[in-house]
Chain A
Amino acid sequence: MSIETRGPGSEACESVREVLPLRAGSYPQVDAAAHDAVSRHLAACPECAGEYAFLLRLQAARPVPPPGLGLRIVARALREAPAESGVIPISTAARRKNQPARWWTSPAAAAAVVVLALGAGLVSQGMQGEQDPGIVALLGAATDSWLGEDWFVAGAPLFDGVSDEALALLAMELEP
């Protein structure tokens, strides 16, 4: 990224202020050289420094998707994808790849299924007594988002074919 940042001045400030939102969000488009150049400019320009501080304040209020949204989308996509579409129903795809469905061996994926169970209200009282409080605390915020008329606890087949790693990454989004 090439930006004119030498000292305060309308052209330099204009260049810097285009980059400030990217820097405030720590986006990788701002490479190390640009980052350093902007830092030098901010140290010398109170106006731009003020704007940067304001952008950081806005960034702190960045809305995030509700917990579990990604998993719900994937589950529906895998369940509903019509055969003629580009996305092959995953159970078919998994069979084609001869890929064993090992999702339950992943702790994160298993935790996601705990959420399914909690959300659907299908965890028995006996089981509730055995729940890991840490997992419940971590995932508790997600339970409401799993309640839906088209949703059910048989989550395992829904993610059939998704690797442990991919499912674990999605499950991490459950963390508030």
Chain B
Amino acid sequence: MIPAPDEADDQVLAARGAKGDPDAVAELVRRHQGVLYRYLLARTGDEDRAADLAQETFLKALRALSRFRGDASFRTWLLAIARNELLGGHRRDVRRGEEDIARGLQVADDAPLPDEDAVVHDEVDRVRVLMDRLPEKQRLSVWLRLYDGLSFREVAEATGSTEGAARVNYFHGIRKLREWADEH
């Protein structure tokens, strides 16, 4: 397996960022805002909250750059900070997000059939509704593997599970999604 893209570069960028190089900071943000935002969106189910938390998480990470040792990849280190951020101060928000998702699913189930003019948009929405039905660890495993190309080891680190569990969660998630998609 080829190493994750730019992993070695990330360590160099982090070292430069820790010394105050603004370009290194900008490049780290550019590279990793996506995976961070998606991780937080998968956890909270709320786009605005995910964006806000992404900002707070990145700021914490940038303040702590000098403590990044490169034992894990930068992105899993970043996701670990996000995970702590959620665990530390946002449990209530996460639960509220899950309730919102549940309400959204109820609405989706009752929704009329899509207008043909909005097929593409509705296809995206349909996929996201299916994703939201997955248990959180399966959803996270699918998102991190499919949407950001993380290794199962990285997925395990980001989800607080073992590599084997991350693999199982991914495949179970995909199997369920296919089953649900076939029902519609």
Is B26 in contact with A65, judged by CB distance below 8 angstroms? no
Distance in angstroms from B118 CB to nearest chain A CB is: 14
Q: Which of B26, B65, B131, B148 contacts A166 (CB 8 A)?
A: B26
- Taken together as a complex, chains A and B put the C-alpha atoms of A85 and B39 apart, in Å, by 26
Q: Which of A78, A92, A159 has the most CB of B within 10 A?
A: A78
- Taken together as a complex, chains A and B put the C-alpha atoms of A28 and B2 apart, in Å, by 8
Q: In the complex, how many residue pairs between chain A and chain B have their CB atoms under 8 Å apart?
A: 163
- Chain B residue nearest to A173 (CB atoms) is B30
Q: Mark A27-57, 1 if CB is under 8 A from B, else 0.
A: 1111100000000000000000001001101
Is the contact region of chain A dominated by helix, strand, or loop, or is it mixed? helix
Q: Mark B18-32, 1 if CB is under 8 A from A, else 0.
A: 111111011101100
- Taken together as a complex, chains A and B put the C-alpha atoms of A170 and B29 apart, in Å, by 8
- Taken together as a complex, chains A and B put the C-alpha atoms of A166 and B146 apart, in Å, by 27
Q: Which bracket fits the contact residues of B?
A: 35 or more
Is B146 in contact with A74, judged by CB distance below 8 angstroms? no
Given A24-B146, A51-B174, A82-B63, verify A1-B26 contact (CB < 8 Å): no
Is A73 in contact with B149, judged by CB distance below 8 angstroms? no
Complex interface: chain A residues within 8 A of B62 (CB): 77, 81, 85-87
Is the contact region of chain B dominated by helix, strand, or loop, or is it mixed? helix
- Chain A residue nearest to B17 (CB atoms) is A87
Is A25 in contact with B29, judged by CB distance below 8 angstroms? no
The count of residues in chain A whose C-beta lies closer than 8 Å to any C-beta of chain B is 57
Chain A interface (Cβ within 8 Å of chain B)? 1, 17-18, 21-22, 24-25, 27-31, 51, 54-55, 57-66, 69-70, 72-74, 76-78, 80-82, 85-90, 92-94, 96, 145, 159, 161-163, 165-167, 169-170, 173
